[in-house]
């Protein structure tokens, strides 16, 4: 995959990511309005909870999956630019983009704060 194809791919990933999350958010919000069910997790929303839900596919679970999809798409963009700079053998920028990606992933997995 060359750099131009990669950029096109990233652009599509961003668009599809927003669409999927938009649909999830609309469904989640709609279900909530209809059922009146909330199931909002008290306090922290762990990544485990966002993936598995409790119960699975409750209105708020669908909502948060929508948020997670939305928030993760920029991560894919940074990951794609690591690959793009690697293809260009620009090692300084592989390191720089790799550093940014690392902070994002650490923030997601560990949840700082």
How many of the chain's residues bind another protein (CB under 8 A)? 55
Distance CA 51, CA 82 (A): 26
The H-assigned helical ranges of 1-113 are 3-35, 47-52, 59-87, 91-110
User: Contact at 8 Å (CB) between 75 and 105?
Assistant: yes
Residue 113: CB atoms within 10 A of its CB come to 4
| Residue in 5, 35, 40, 52 binding another protein, rule: CB under 8 A | 40
Q: Compute the distance between CA of residue 16 and CA of residue 14 in angstroms, rounded to an integer.
A: 6
Residue 112 as a binder of another protein (CB under 8 A): the answer is: yes
Site string for another protein, 61-90 (x = CB under 8 A): --xx-xxx-xxxxxx-xx--x---------
Asked if 42 interacts with another protein (CB under 8 A), we say: yes
Task: Note the residues at the interface with another protein (CB under 8 A).
Answer: 7-8, 10-12, 14-15, 17-18, 21-22, 25-26, 28-29, 32-33, 38, 40-47, 50, 60, 63-64, 66-68, 70-75, 77-78, 81, 92-93, 96-97, 99-100, 103-104, 107-108, 111-113
């Amino acid at each position: 995959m060359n750099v131009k194809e990669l950029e096109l791919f990233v652009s599509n990933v961003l668009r599809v990511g927003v669409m999927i999350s938009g649909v999830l958010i609309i469904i989640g919000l709609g279900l909530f309005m209809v059922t009146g069910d909330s199931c909002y997790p008290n306090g922290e929303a762990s990544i485990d909870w966002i993936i598995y839900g409790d119960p699975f596919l409750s209105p708020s679970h669908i909502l948060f999956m929508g948020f997670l999809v939305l928030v993760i798409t920029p991560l894919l963009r940074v990951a794609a630019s690591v690959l793009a700079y690697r293809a260009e053998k620009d090692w300084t920028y592989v390191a720089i983009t790799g550093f940014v990606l690392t902070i994002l992933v650490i923030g997601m997995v560990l949840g700082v704060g």
